[in-house]
Amino acid sequence: MTRVEFFKHSIGDEEIERVTKVLKGLFITTGDEVAEFERAMAAYLGLPHAVAVMSCTAAMQLAWLAADIGPGDEVITTPLTFIGTANSALMAGATPVLVDVERSTGNINASAIASAVTERTRGILPVHLYGQMCDMDAIQSIADKHDLVIVEDAAHSLEAQWNGKSGGHYGDYACFSFYATKSITAGEGGIVSVKDAGKDSFLRKLRLHGLDRTAEDSYTNHFKQYDVATLGWKYNMDNIHAAILIEQLKKADAMQQRRAETYNRYVEAFSEIEEIELHSIRKECAHSYLMFTILVDSSRRDTILEELQNRGIGVSVNFYPLHLFTFYRERFGYKQGDFPVAEEIGSRTITLPLYARLTEEEVEYVIDTVKDVVRNIGK
């Protein structure tokens, strides 16, 4: 029996009322609600433009295409992430080049990026792992030196900052996810922030078949034939998802605050436990507190994972290093040992429940159970 779910969304009456209004109205695909959500996201981030799509992976693919990065180009990223991160480069026709991560945070190692730059490198794809932003000053200076485009995978870091700036301020593009287990969600969804107005309108074409008009244009104004001047994709967000996300975004900071309390309680409870190691948070970083992970001995990790689930706690592994997936091994010849730090974290990490609706009793149950299991099981 599950006693503590791994994740519960916080969709409430406000979201349900707003989406109901959309469903009772006329226009359910990309329209007013999407435009309003894009304005709200841009304002939240303090950036001029944001283009809503149906996933963060799509957002990253379109960012590469908008930056004119594709076949023959290399993009440097981390193996300690979700598969969609590196795949976004492949989806644009570019080649992802992996480098190892920092031991203390799990984030991509900036000096490893600097060493991996070749004449084919065109982009850097940092992932703000678990909600802690990467060293964006170091990454920005590498990008400036070699004239590289930065696309941030900000799927974990909506509310996070590095030296007071959120995702999208250092990078040319930042991509956010509204997948079911992210800090704000509509089940699925994504958005890409962009600073350049010309790129903003290009991204709007890329997300909808390359059309130079939207369905809403054709509805609100009289029909006028559209033209297609570029290959586009079918990634546009609809008013239904946007309605939910407008209300979710209003709650983002309050939910982050609630997660911070739980995160700090976990840190307090686990930092003295000999069998547990924790990642550290760098002083330049304001964490989004999306995920809380512990590191245990790799030889006991799977046993501990299994026992926590037997005792009713939802857990996960973030992440199995993606270079060890069959597709990446076969396509790029990666093997065990290529990225030792990512492999070590991947073999030792366990993600515990962390979300705004977690109750104090649930948190204490997780703490007591984890302590008991790491001390007593599989030794």
Ligand X SMILES: *Cc1c(COP(=O)(O)O)cnc(C)c1O
Known active-site residue 182: yes
- Residues 75-104 close enough to bind ligand X by CB under 6 A: 81-82, 84-85
The backbone torsions φ and ψ at residue 145, rounded to the nearest 5 degrees and listed phi first, read -65, -40
Among 30, 57, 109, 236, binds ligand X (CB under 6 A): 57
Q: Which stretch binds ligand X (CB under 6 A): 9-17, 55-63, 279-287, 325-333?
A: 55-63
Among 179, 202, 263, 355, binds ligand X (CB under 6 A): 179
Nearest-approach distance from CB 12 to ligand X, in angstroms = 22
How far apart, in whole angstroms, are the C-alpha atoms of residue 250 and residue 374? Answer: 38
Collapse the DSSP code of 313 into the 3-class scheme (helix H, G, I; strand E, B; otherwise coil) and give the result.
Answer: strand
Q: Nearest-5° angle of CA 224, CA 230, CA 233? A: 90
Nearest-approach distance from CB 176 to ligand X, in angstroms = 8
Q: Which stretch binds ligand X (CB under 6 A): 99-107, 152-160, 232-240, 242-250?
A: 152-160
Q: Which is nearer to ligand X, 132 or 369 (CB)?
A: 132
Q: Does residue number 156 form part of the binding site for ligand X (CB under 6 A)?
A: yes
Of the candidates 87, 95, 152, the one whose C-alpha atom is nearest the C-alpha of residue 126 is 152
Nearest-approach distance from CB 17 to ligand X, in angstroms = 25
Q: Does residue number 177 form part of the binding site for ligand X (CB under 6 A)?
A: yes
- Looking at the chain, list the stretches that DSSP marks H as alpha helix, in order from N- to C-terminal side: 13-24, 32-45, 56-66, 83-91, 110-116, 136-146, 197-206, 215-220, 239-270, 301-310, 326-332, 340-348, 360-376
Among 31, 167, 171, 190, binds ligand X (CB under 6 A): 190
Which amino acid appears at position 174 of this protein?
Answer: A
Rg of the chain on CA atoms, in Å: 21
Nearest-approach distance from CB 182 to ligand X, in angstroms = 6
Q: Does residue number 155 form part of the binding site for ligand X (CB under 6 A)?
A: yes
Q: Does residue number 170 form part of the binding site for ligand X (CB under 6 A)?
A: no
Q: Which helix (H) or strand (E) holds 274?
A: none
Q: Does residue number 132 form part of the binding site for ligand X (CB under 6 A)?
A: no
How far apart, in whole angstroms, are the C-alpha atoms of residue 342 and residue 103? Answer: 8
The CA-atom distances, in angstroms, between 100 and each of 44, 80, 94, 324, 338 are 32, 8, 20, 13, 8
Q: Which is nearer to ligand X, 56 or 356 (CB)?
A: 56
The β-bridge relationship of strands 74-77 and 121-125 is: parallel
How far apart, in whole angstroms, are the C-alpha atoms of residue 51 and residue 29? Answer: 15
Single out the catalytic residue among 182, 199, 205, 251: 182
Among 30, 55, 193, 248, binds ligand X (CB under 6 A): 55
Q: Which is nearer to ligand X, 56 or 370 (CB)?
A: 56
Q: Does residue number 127 form part of the binding site for ligand X (CB under 6 A)?
A: yes
What tokens appear for 210 in the block?
Answer: 């390359």
Q: Which stretch binds ligand X (CB under 6 A): 51-59, 98-106, 138-146, 334-342?
A: 51-59
Give catalytic residue positions: 182
Query: Which positions lie near ligand X, rule CB under 6 A?
Result: 55-57, 81-82, 84-85, 127, 153, 155-156, 177, 179, 190
